[in-house]
Structure 1
């Protein structure tokens, strides 16, 4: 008889995810206020760390105009990588990682579909609340002024420009969103599967995954939402383009994290077929 631990090496991952899903299902129902608070903290962390990312870019640009752009992007991406670490260890709730978790739950029929959808809806709502808090704080301070504000405004222009490029631009945005959450949830897969024992190892995996998304230029729905709110309180934005961007990125993020990681590994580690055979 073949060793099932070798045939289905991701069973620990599935068990951990289903355990997390049970907690999230209860919290998004009976403890909805607490769940929203945890989701708001994730949005706050994303907002603060994304602001720090653009502050790093502005600092390197200030040192040598245009000559250290690449270095600034690398350093900023490493710094932004700590956002996922802070979210994980503070037990906050982030939409993009929950996309993977609810999809595994859907595959194993661990909760009704409407309960799974409720987790995502309230999580995103909480993320928005946290991001809005950061956006308001930035608006009431000088944190988003000068070169930092210029960097964020330029980034928003770039993200919205995809919508004006027709199908090719939409496809480009969509692919970047898929790869973004593929990387985020690949990190969570490694964290949840029990093979990485040390906290340092877990942190390095999470930082590396976010570094890839930040440096290459992938698209993250929550980060984009927060950035749009920060810049939107400073200047007017085309709401249609903003919603178009978020719609495409949300769908791409779900495919990258929900299907390519969640569904993929749920199926690959389903030993029920093995027992039937």
Structure 2
């Protein structure tokens, strides 16, 4: 046999062996952690590069989904006495809002607390004006979007008295820290750290999935956990509080902001930026820098 034929035969054998190996080792149905973290950095960069109008509109959309999720969580839990089932249904309801956020590419403050730092930890000039402007627009946009949907729900007259009765229970559960004074303020902050840690992992699992079913399931599990644990998630609370402000709630809007949203937001930034973004950024530093085409 000539050398050329031998070479051709060897290539054919290698291709056959590769095909057999692929048959025994099918492609994974999820992305590995280093790929997920690289995607976080790329998403953070993409969000930052969007024009301001797009950032604000996507933030408004995300805030709107939070109120839809809050309303759905309450509707599913009305009349449920068993606590385990109550938490499960309530969490599943709110997961619907998060699924719409993650899959639509909307800008949610607590997701940005994970995506943007993953990019920022690998570049210089962390606190430049456009970055702070984007973070602020995400937060304000989420609040305005949440209020917008709450107003529409109120004007529609679609929800009955049992809904608002259950809403008052939710609000009391979230505002119980106010009775603890200064200690309660810091309890909300720590609770916010836990909440955004879980939401960061929801983004992690959602990004890992390669199909729509996996993304919804990956979103639902951490969301159900933070709802059941009453961990204070500022974006989620925007939905509940927007509905509460427009109903006959015993709490005022400034109490919602001062005694919950502010400490929860601070905790959310810490939980998302440090316990998810910084932790995984450091663990997969080389992969992120390669993906973002950055060199120190």
- Aligned partner of 1:50 in structure 2 is 70
- Aligned partner of 1:206 in structure 2 is 219
Q: Deviations over 1:216-253 (max 9, x none)?
A: 21111012122212111223633442222111100111
- Is the Cα contact below 8 Å between 1:105 and 1:111 reproduced in 2? no
Q: Deviation of residue 175 (structure 1)?
A: 2.5
Q: Say which of 122, 133, 146 aligns to 2:148.
A: 133
- The range that moved more, 245-254 or 110-119, is 110-119
Q: Deviation of residue 151 (structure 1)?
A: 1.4
Using a 3 Å threshold, how does the CA distance of structure 1 residues 56 and 226 change in structure 2: closer, same or farther? same
TM-score, length of structure 1 as denominator length = 0.83
Aligned length: 254
- Is the Cα contact below 8 Å between 1:41 and 1:92 reproduced in 2? yes
Please tell me whether residue 224 in structure 1 is matched to residue 237 in structure 2.
yes
CA RMSD of aligned residues (A): 2.2
- Is the Cα contact below 8 Å between 2:111 and 2:199 reproduced in 1? yes
SS state of the match for residue 92, structure 1?
coil
Using a 3 Å threshold, how does the CA distance of structure 1 residues 49 and 105 change in structure 2: closer, same or farther? same
- Aligned partner of 1:154 in structure 2 is 169
Alignment of 1:110-189 (within 5 A): 112-113=126-127, 114-189=129-204
Q: Deviation of residue 131 (structure 1)?
A: 0.5
Q: Deviations over 1:78-134 (max 9, x none)?
A: 222122211111111111010111212221116652332222111112211211111
- Aligned partner of 1:37 in structure 2 is 57
- Aligned partner of 1:3 in structure 2 is none
Please tell me whether residue 73 in structure 1 is matched to residue 87 in structure 2.
yes
* Structure possessing the higher radius of gyration over alpha carbons: 2
Q: Say which of 270, 276, 282 aligns to 1:255.
A: 270
TM-score, length of structure 2 as denominator length = 0.78
The 2-side partners of 1:230 and 1:209 are apart by: 24
Please tell me whether residue 85 in structure 1 is matched to residue 99 in structure 2.
yes
Which stretches in structure 2 are left out of the alignment for 5+ residues?
A: 1-31, 288-294
Please tell me whether residue 25 in structure 1 is matched to residue 34 in structure 2.
no
Q: Deviations over 1:201-226 (max 9, x none)?
A: 22211111111111221111012122
